[in-house]
Amino acid sequence: MSEMIYKAQGLRLDLAKITRLYPAAIVEGGGAEAQVSLEWAEMKKDEVRIDEYVLVFDFDPAGEVPVNRRILHYPTKEALVAAMIEVSKFFE
């Protein structure tokens, strides 16, 4: 198996060790900020402000509190999707 090291935003992530990988949006609404699914952010786009998009990499076993989580930040959904495509190439 070839090396599965993804380098981005100053991080070096070993994709062979991830236990969970997902995109999300950081939204602000009602004075609070939260990480939500892209689908939810799209449905509520008239009620919340999307501050940024993130790609979340968890390295802890499923069910455990994620202490080894790494998050990449993107200003636009297009930039997030481009990163997701880049990461997906490691799994082809």
β-partners of residue 32 are 29
Which pLDDT score, from 0 to 100, does residue 2 have? 60
pLDDT in tens, 27-86: 987 777 889 999 999 998 888 889 999 999 999 988 888 889 999 999 999 999 999 999
Tokens of residue 29, six digits: 């609404």
Which pLDDT score, from 0 to 100, does residue 31 have? 76
Q: Which residue type is seen at 6?
A: Y
Q: Provide the number of structural domains found in the chain.
A: 1
Q: 3 or 17: whose pLDDT is higher? A: 17
- Over residues 13-37, the mean pLDDT reads 90
Which pTM does this prediction carry?
Answer: 0.87
- Dihedral over Cα of 13, 75, 79, 61: its sign: positive
Which pLDDT score, from 0 to 100, does residue 30 have? 73
Residue 51: which domain range?
Answer: 5-91
In sequence order, what are the residues at sequence separation of 6 or more whose Cβ sits closer than 8 angstroms to the Cβ of residue 20? 56, 57, 58, 62, 66
Separation between Cα atoms, residue 11 and residue 26, nearest integer Å: 20
Q: Which residue type is seen at 92?
A: E
